[in-house]
Amino acid sequence: MRALFASVLLSTVAVNAMAQFNTNNKVLFERKTFPLSSVQNLELSTSGGAIYAEGATSGEAVLEVYVSGNNGKSISLDEAKKRIAEKYNYESGLSGSKLFAKAENKNKIWGNNNDGVSISYKVIVPMQTSSKINTSGGSIQVLNLKGDEKLNTSGGSLTIDNVDGKLNAATSGGSISLKQSAGELNVATSGGSLHLSNLKGSVKAATSGGSINAKTVSGTLSVATSGGSITLKDIAATTEAATSGGSVSAEFTDPGKGVSLSTSGGGISLQVPKDKGYDLDLRGDRVNVSNVSLQGTITKTSVKGKTNGGGIALRATTSAGSVNVTMN
């Protein structure tokens, strides 16, 4: 019964995720299927559309290509075929064990491409698939892949769910959502927020222009932003968190080998378990430590000392705010 429930739950998650790929105003340009076992690698690139890739354990490997006019306008299949033939270098298929699709604009001057199209992909591949996915003008969604995943978009968001392995994902113009994943996980954006949840392993996340929210992370965690706040909850990880323009709030169930928090423009709130030994290095406009006995040098603006004989490093520094540490 439990196995059946888990299977139904996984199927429901997959269906819900599939529904997130919007086919409104898009015409199905091409659909190809292959035996699922024939695919080990995935390589997708497009100059102006969204990409959705999902791992599966049964059925067929599927490549679907959708086309819409510029600015999301709908076009006919015949018109889509005509525009792609005239203005794009397009190819797709199975080469060895690699499923691929590539759409490249022949005209590099975007201002002269008013009758161009947006070319999007929806792909089903085995869960044990490594991928290289790139788009210059759309979002990327990846679900249920367990390999070496490399994702990049210059103009959209990244949504990543249940990836296990090695992940490198970047966007220059959107937010990132990463959840239910494990392994070596690296994500970065130059223009959006980061949402991280239920992660295990080595997690590195950075943004130049947004907030960071992380919940239920274990292993090691490194997060940084130049323009937003950082909120960490239910963390069991050795952690570094830094921002140049916001507050930091962090709640730990296990601080691992140590915690380092810093900000140049806000306060810091840190909560850790009381039953461990800590080496404290805290600095701010005002520093408060609650519910614990301290040994060391304690002033209004700094604390450098130990609790319970010392051990785990706790470092928190701010140039323009208070530092509040609570041990429960």
pLDDT tens figures, 226-283: 989 999 999 999 999 999 989 999 999 999 999 999 999 899 999 999 999 999 999 9
pLDDT band at 310 (very low <50, low <70, confident <90, very high): very high
pLDDT band at 213 (very low <50, low <70, confident <90, very high): very high
Contact of 294 with 303, CB cutoff 8 Å: yes
Mean pLDDT value of segment 33-60: 96
Question: Is residue 107's pLDDT more than 70?
Answer: yes
Question: Is residue 5's pLDDT more than 50?
Answer: no
Do the strands 140-145 and 117-126 form a parallel or antiparallel pair, or are they unpaired?
unpaired
pLDDT score of 113 = 53
pLDDT score of 73 = 87
State the Cα–Cα distance between residues 196 and 202, nearest whole angstrom. 13
Question: Is residue 288's pLDDT more than 50?
Answer: yes
State the Cα–Cα distance between residues 298 and 289, nearest whole angstrom. 10
- Between 104-118, 195-209, 234-248, 271-285, the lowest mean confidence (pLDDT) is in 104-118
pLDDT score of 137 = 81
Question: Is residue 159's pLDDT more than 70?
Answer: yes
Among all chains, which residue has been given the structure tokens 């609570």? Answer: 326
Closest residue by Cα to residue 176 from 193, 201, 191: 193
pLDDT score of 70 = 80
Element (H, E) at 140: strand 140-145
Rg (CA), the chain: 24
What b/e readout covers 109-128, taking b as 16+ CB neighbours within 10 angstroms? eeeebeebbbbbbbbbbbbe
Contact of 162 with 183, CB cutoff 8 Å: no
Contact of 269 with 250, CB cutoff 8 Å: yes
Question: For 127, which DSSP code?
Answer: S
Do the strands 258-263 and 312-318 form a parallel or antiparallel pair, or are they unpaired?
parallel
Closest residue by Cα to residue 122 from 149, 142, 137: 142
Which residues make beta-bridge pairs with 155?
none
Q: What does residue 289 show for φ and ψ, rounded to 5 degrees?
A: -125, 125
Cα→Cα distances 24→44, 120, 216, Å: 21, 12, 35
State the Cα–Cα distance between residues 25 and 253, nearest whole angstrom. 47
Among all chains, which residue has been given the structure tokens 């319970």? Answer: 308
Task: Tell me the pTM.
Answer: 0.91
Which residues make beta-bridge pairs with 100?
43, 93
Question: Is residue 114's pLDDT more than 80?
Answer: no
Question: Is residue 188's pLDDT more than 90?
Answer: yes
Element (H, E) at 188: strand 176-189
Question: Is residue 8's pLDDT more than 50?
Answer: no
Residues of the chain with pLDDT > 90: what percent?
A: 82
Question: Is residue 126's pLDDT more than 80?
Answer: yes
Question: Is residue 150's pLDDT more than 90?
Answer: yes
Which residues make beta-bridge pairs with 251?
271
Question: Is residue 1's pLDDT more than 50?
Answer: no
- Mean model confidence pLDDT for the chain: 91
- What lies within 8 Å, CB to CB, of 7 at 6+ separation is none
Closest residue by Cα to residue 61 from 126, 110, 12: 126
